[in-house]
Amino acid sequence: MKKFTTLHRFIHWLIAVAMLVLFTTGFLRMYWMSKKTITAAISAELTKNNVQLPQESVVGIAKSIINPMFDWHLNFAYVLVFAYILRIIYLLAKGVRYPNPFSKSSTGKEKLQGTVYSIFYILLTVQIITGFALMWELASEQALERAEQIHKFAVYWMPVFVLLHFAGITVAELTNKKGIASKMIGGE
């Protein structure tokens, strides 16, 4: 079985950590810690205590609460882009390939593996492009709304990829590639 180089493992885990932080911060910002949710909570508490504040102030307070989380999201977006570019360069330089899902000689398992990785790289590219389009407001309001929808759609598939990835590792460990997990973790 092949041995994973230190650089290969570093890139793999850098992408994994970046994706985890991005998914967590993005998910929190969409739901429990969205500007709308935080603003509503602040407004409810102010009303309960008979305190009057202009809506702009309430929104400003909400933004000051969620902006540090957005900063983490942006910083790890840059980490992901760096790791993604590094991964592509590394794969091309080392000649590392995942199975071709369209090859007639590929087994069913290899076709599935190749398809999953192809979808992963396509969706990751879509996430990067739409994320930066949103951050830099590179289009009209309507186009940005569509970009946000696409960004979220691509994000929702990442947990599916992670589950398939772990399922593949489990199958490999139980069949012909025993030790692949420890090789990716410790290189041994």
Tell me what pLDDT residue 42 has. Answer: 95
Whole-number mean pLDDT of the chain? 90
pTM for the whole thing? 0.85
Distances (CA, A) of 60 to 32, 39, 57, 70, 96: 17, 9, 5, 14, 49
Asked whether the beta carbons of 186 and 10 are under 8 A apart, the reply is: no
Q: 81-95, 97-111, 149-163: which range is least confident on average?
A: 97-111
Q: Which CATH class is domain 6-186?
A: mainly alpha
Q: What are 22's two structure tokens?
A: 């991005």
Q: What angle (nearest 5°) sits at the alpha carbon of residue 27, between those of residues 21 and 30?
A: 140
Helices 6-30, 55-94: inter-axial angle, 10-degree rounding: 160
Q: Is the pLDDT of residue 188 over 90?
A: no
Task: Supply 80's token pair.
Answer: 């992901």
> Contact, 59 vs 39, CB < 8 A?
yes
Structure tokens at 113: 């593996």
Q: Which residue has the higher pLDDT, 160 or 138?
A: 160
User: In b/e form, how buried is each residue of 70-98, taking b as 16+ CB within 10 angstroms?
Assistant: beebeebbebbbebbeebeebeeeeeeee
DSSP state at residue 140 = -
